[in-house]
Amino acid sequence: MRKGTCRRLMDVGARRVLISLCSSFLALSLVAIGRGQTPSPTYKAMGTVVSLDPAGFTLQTDSGARLTVLLSNSALLLRVAPNQKDLKNATKINAGEISVGDRVLVRGHISDDQKTLLATAAIDMSKADIAKKQAAERAEWQRGVGGLVNSVDLASSAVTISMAAQGVTKKVVVHVSKDTILRRYAADSVKFDDAKPGTFDQIQPGDQLRARGTRSEDGNDFAAEEIVSGSFRNIAGTVSLIDVSQNTISVMDLKTKKPVLVKFTADSQLRKLPPMMAQMIAMRLKGGSAGGPPNGAGGGAAAAAPPAGAPPSGGGPGGPPGGPGGRRPGGAPDLQQILNRMPPATLADLQKGDAVMIVATQGMASSGVTAIMVLSGVEPILTSSGSASQAMFMSPWNLGGGAPSGEEGTP
C-alpha cells in the first residue's frame, strides 16, 4: 500500500484505518528486509517539516532528500529549545503539535527504497522557537564587530581587525577562547547557513571576519562567542560576455589576464558610479591625497556593502557619511558611503566592454565565482596611474560588520 493508496483511504473518511494500515504495512515490509528474517537497522535523519498528514509528516532532510515519516503509536516525541544541548529539559509532545517549518531529528526504521521511515522517536524544535532564537542572535551579530583581518596572534588566540565606523577605520582585537564557535565561509557562498566548522589557524590576514560577543568599554577589545570568517576574491576588469538568462557575466581579469565567470544570485549587489563621481574619485586617487586610499584597511582597501543581505550596523556600512559627498575629512572619498546612496542596478544595465570592480567568493575553478558586490562605471579609476587607485582594486575590500544572513537552528 503506497502513499497514493493511503490518501485515497483518507478521502473516504478512514483516517484511523489509514494510520493503522500504513503503519502495519510498513512495519511488515521492514521486518521483511534481509529475506524476511531481520529488521532494518536504526536510521536517523534531520531536516525541516514541509507537509503534514494524519500518519505523520514529510521531512526535507538536510541532505536534500524527501522522507515520509510515519509515527508509530509508541513513538517518543520530544520538543527541545534551540539553545538546548541535551534532553534534560525536553518536554513530551503529541503528533498534533508538530508543524510545518519545525526542525526535526527522527530515528526509526527505513524502507527498502529509503523514502519512508517508521519513527520510533522524534526530537522537534518548533519554527516559532527557532525564529525567536534567530532574532536574538541577529541582534547579537548586529552589536558585534566585523572587518578585515590585519594580524593573527596564535600564541594569545587574538585577531586584530580593521573595522569601518562612521568613515573612520578603527582596529579592534578579537579574543578567542576554547568556547568560541569558529566557522568558515564556503568557497562558493557567503551565506552563514553554508559556513562550515573552522579552526583558529585557518584565519589569515586579509580575511573578512565577523564576530558576536562582548565588547570592552573602550571598544578596543572584543570577547568572541562566535566567529565566521573567510577569504574572498577581488576582481577588476572589463565585461566580455553577458548572459542575462543564466545570470552570469564573463570578466577579463586585469591581474591574471584570464576570463572569469561571475555568477549573480539574489544576494549579489550591483551599483553603478555616475561618470562625474568616478572622475572625481580617480582624480583624488591619482593625486595621492594625504588621507590615502579609501578605508585605510588592508593597505588601502575600499569599503563594500555587507554581503548576502546582511543588515547595516550602526556607524558602519549604512551609517552616517563621513563628510560631504561621502568624503572623510582630509582623506580620500569613502566608497561605502557613496555606494549606500546609489540605487541598485541590474544585470541588464551592464554592457559588453564596461569596466567593473568585483568582490566575489573564492569559487571553484570549474564553476566560476559568485558575486557579492559589483561596481560598474569605474573606467576612470581603473585607467588611473595612481598607486592609490591600484591599491583600491587590488587590495581586499572591507565588507564591514552586520548580521550574517540565514542563521538556522538545528536540534
Q: Is the pLDDT of residue 325 over 80?
A: no
Q: Quick one: pLDDT at residue 394? A: 55
Residue 178 reports pLDDT greater than 70: yes
Greatest mean pLDDT among 90-94, 297-301, 384-388, 401-405: 90-94
Domains of the chain plus CATH, in order, are 3-132 (2.40.50.320), 141-230 (2.40.50.320), 232-394 (no CATH)
Mean pLDDT, rounded, for 132-146: 86
For the chain, give the mean pLDDT. Answer: 76
Q: Which alpha helices (H) appear in 55-204, and where do they start and end?
A: 127-142
Is the model's pLDDT at 26 over the cut of 50?
Answer: no
pLDDT-based confidence at 291, cuts 50/70/90?
very low
Strand-pairing partners, residue 44, are: 107
User: 280-295 burial string, b = 16+ CB within 10 Å, else e?
Assistant: bbbebbbeebebbbbb
Of residues 135 and 336, the one with the higher pLDDT is 135
What pLDDT, on the 0 to 100 scale, is given for residue 61? 94
pLDDT by residue (tens digit) across 215-236? 999 989 999 999 999 988 889 8
* The predicted structure's pLDDT at residue 404: 61
Which has more pLDDT, 153 or 410? 153
Q: Is 126 exposed, middle or buried (0-12, 13-18, 19+ CB in 10 A)?
A: buried
Separation CA 373–CA 275 (nearest Å):
19
Distance in angstroms (rounded) separating the CA atoms of residues 15 and 7: 9
Pair 149, 204: CB distance under 8 Å: yes
Question: Is 280 a residue whose pLDDT tops 50?
Answer: yes
Q: Which residue has the higher pLDDT, 344 or 203?
A: 203
pLDDT tens for 49-64 read 999 999 999 999 998 9
Q: Confidence class of residue 79 from pLDDT cuts 50, 70 and 90?
A: very high
Per-residue pLDDT averaged across 305-325, rounded?
33
pLDDT over threshold 50, residue 300: no
pLDDT at 115: 93
* One-character DSSP codes across 115-138: SEEEEEEEEEE-HHHHHHHHHHHH
Q: Which three cell numbers stand for residue 39?
A: 529488521
- As a whole number, mean pLDDT of residues 349-366 equals 86
pLDDT at 339 over 50: yes
Please report, rounded to a whole number, the percentage of residues in the chain having pLDDT higher than 90.
Answer: 40
pLDDT greater at residue 395 or residue 342:
342
| pLDDT tens, position by position, 261-272 | 999 988 888 998
Band of pLDDT at residue 40, cut at 50, 70 and 90 = low
**Residue 377 pLDDT greater than 50, yes or no:** yes
* 411 or 347, higher pLDDT: 347
Given phi > 0 = left and psi -120 to 50 = alpha, else beta, which region is 234?
Answer: beta
- pLDDT of residue 313 exceeding 60: no
* Residue 400 confidence (pLDDT): 57
pLDDT for residue 312 is more than 60:
no
* pTM (whole model) above 0.85: no
Is pLDDT of 243 > 50?
A: yes
Cell triple for 62: 538536510
Q: Is the pLDDT of residue 37 over 50?
A: no
pLDDT of residue 386: 54
Hey, which bits of 141-272 come out as E strands?
145-153, 158-165, 168-175, 181-184, 196-197, 208-215, 221-230, 232-243, 248-253, 259-263, 269-272
